[in-house]
Structure 1
């Protein structure tokens, strides 16, 4: 059965991942997206593959989408009339969120 692989990755990982995926002869569609905890830019990749190709594709995604720590500041809530104070925290970002869906029909023109 054919599969639709949806990978949500950080923008900074997207370019190299797309390059590596296409180098391995996979077709990929790129969608810009955003969201998550830091409201940072993400890229959603759509890839239609045959079932026996899924493992190879997942290896490429895993190799090119690593987690990393970034420093950010959160605002602490204070009592009314007081000012907000930034609170620095390290947050783990990156990696990839991958969904693999069965496809009833996959047509390529």
Structure 2
């Protein structure tokens, strides 16, 4: 018997983030068509996932995308010095700053009809 999809998720993720998301979706029985895309402020590489599914499983798929759509990377910056601070050695190590990266933009569409031939 053929599955009837009544929802479609279009999810746009950064190119570095989509591998784990697709893997996790597949492990949970969701399948995605991957489209290479670009956009955003810096025109960075991104990926658009097209995921057909039954509305009863929508929350499950959205939770997976949310989990894998964002990550934290360490960014390194030199310490900020103020004029009132005592001088510090030039060998002072940069500060590690956790920075949120990635994210997912998604659209949930109603599907009037789906077929597989």
TM score, norm. by length of structure 2 = 0.69
Aligned residue pair count: 90
Partner of 1:4: 8
**Alignment check: 8 A CA contact 1:5 1:98 kept:** yes
- Structure number with higher strand proportion: 1
For structure 2, the 5+ residue unaligned runs are: 76-98
- Pick closer, same or farther for the CA change 1:70–1:94 going to 2, 3 Å: farther
**Alignment check: 8 A CA contact 1:34 1:42 kept:** yes
**SS state of the match for residue 12, structure 1?**
coil
- 1:70 offset after TM fit, Å? 8.8
Taking only aligned residues, the RMSD between alpha carbons, in angstroms, comes to 2.0
- Pick closer, same or farther for the CA change 1:46–1:70 going to 2, 3 Å: farther
Partner of 2:25: 21
**Alignment check: 8 A CA contact 1:70 1:93 kept:** no
For structure 1, the 5+ residue unaligned runs are: 72-90
Kindly report which structure 2 residues correspond to 1:34-45, keeping only aligned pairs within 5 A, or say none: 34-45=38-49
- Structure number with higher helix proportion: 1
- Give 4+ residue runs of structure 1 displaced > 2 Å after superposition: 67-71
**Alignment check: 8 A CA contact 1:69 1:92 kept:** yes
Higher Cα radius of gyration: 2
Q: Of 52, 57, 62, which aligns to 1:58?
A: 62
Partner of 2:105: 97
Partner of 1:86: none
